[in-house]
Structure 1
Amino acid sequence: MSDAQANTTPTLDTARTYLVYDGDCPACRHYVRFVRFRDAVGVVELINAREANEWVAHLRLQGMPLDDGMVLVYAGRYFHGADAIHQMALLANRSGWFNRATACLFQSRRLTGFLYPILKTLRNALLWTLRRSKIDS
């Protein structure tokens, strides 16, 4: 590992779950606030990518740019974009209408793969409307 990589690697505890998301995106912020998968995984560390440059750089080196989707680190495995949403749906409890709806939509890998590019386009349009830059801009 080079010095540049060492400086961009956040400290990871494999017993913890991390969710790295765009805190400037209202849709992303509300999604991570309302999705209920903490019962299944325990402590979840929510990381606003806008305030965590080391995570952004680390994930970029892993081939997971945050403008392409949030990242879930669960049980030492990385899930990016559609895979992250799908994994959270599998882990989420079904309490409340929001969690039932997202579980229904995203528990299917095929449906998640179809819907995710649409959601990403809507996120980009929302950021543009709000005059907020993308993370890697």
Structure 2
Amino acid sequence: MAEPNVVLVYDKQCPACDNYCRWVRLRDAVGPLQLVDAREDTEILSEITARGWDIDQGMVLKVGEQLYYGADAIHALALMGSRSGLFNRLNYWMFRSPRMASVLYPVLRALRNLLLKALRKSKINNLGKADNERF
């Protein structure tokens, strides 16, 4: 059986997002995690936009053909994650429950938005870009 293709789409210009994505480790049985910058025009970002998902409101995890968005993505990462190292144990503990993930994720997203404002970084606005392309 082939290993599932695991892709995480996130905002690389957000230091908190970038560090999280670099530190999270998947169990060996899951396979390697491919990181994709949501600010780049990629096929997977087009797929996300076609679903009407605002990448500024949540990261996206793709496992095989299955897509997870926002709190569901961070929950799935926690379940697939390695338990080695303090960061990965803490990640598992915080996000292993779908309920906890759905409570904590909006808080993290709000902090990300504040951080981007403080750093004077623009939002990605993938849905707005799609609207502009139609005209």
- Confirm or deny: 8 A CA contact 1:38 1:44 kept in the other structure: no
Give the counterpart of 1:78 among 52, 57, 67.
67
How far the C-alpha of 1:42 sits from its partner, in A, is 1.0
1:127 partner SS: helix
Q: Which runs of 5+ in 1 are unaligned?
A: 1-13
Which of 81, 90, 108 does residue 119 from structure 1 map onto? Answer: 108
Question: More deviation in 100-109 or 55-64?
Answer: 55-64
| Identical-residue share of aligned pairs (%) | 48
Asked if 2 retains the 8 angstrom alpha-carbon contact of 1:49 and 1:135, the reply is yes
Runs of 4+ in 1 over 4 A off after TM superposition: none
- CA–CA distance in 1 between the matches of 2:76 and 2:22? 16
> Could you list the per-position Cα deviations for residues 35-76 of structure 1 after superposition, in whole angstroms to 9, with x for gaps in the alignment?
011523213221001123543332111122210111000031
| Corresponding residue of 2:88 | 99
**What SS is found at the alignment partner of 2:39?**
helix
Report the Cα distance in structure 1 between the residues aligned to 2:42 and 2:82, rounded to whole angstroms.
31
TM-score, normalised relative to structure 2: 0.85
Matched with 1:129 is 118
For 2:98 and 2:73, locate their aligned partners in 1 and report how far apart those are by CA, in whole Å.
Answer: 11
CA contact (8 A) 1:69 1:80 kept: yes
The answer to whether the 8 A contact 2:7-2:34 is kept is yes
Q: How many residues align?
A: 124
Paired with 1:97 and 1:43, the residues of 2 have a C-alpha distance of: 20
3-state SS in 2 of match to 1:20: strand
Query: Residues 21 and 38 from structure 1, CA distance in 2 versus in 1: closer, same or farther, beyond 3 angstroms?
Result: farther
* 1:134 shift after superposition: 0.6
CA root-mean-square deviation: 1.6
- Among 32, 46, 51, the alignment partner of 2:21 is 32
More displaced 10-residue stretch of structure 1: 93-102 or 41-50: 41-50
CA contact (8 A) 2:10 2:17 kept: yes
Please give the TM-score of this superposition, normalised by the length of structure 1.
0.84
**In 1, Cα distance between the equivalents of 2:5 and 2:81?**
16
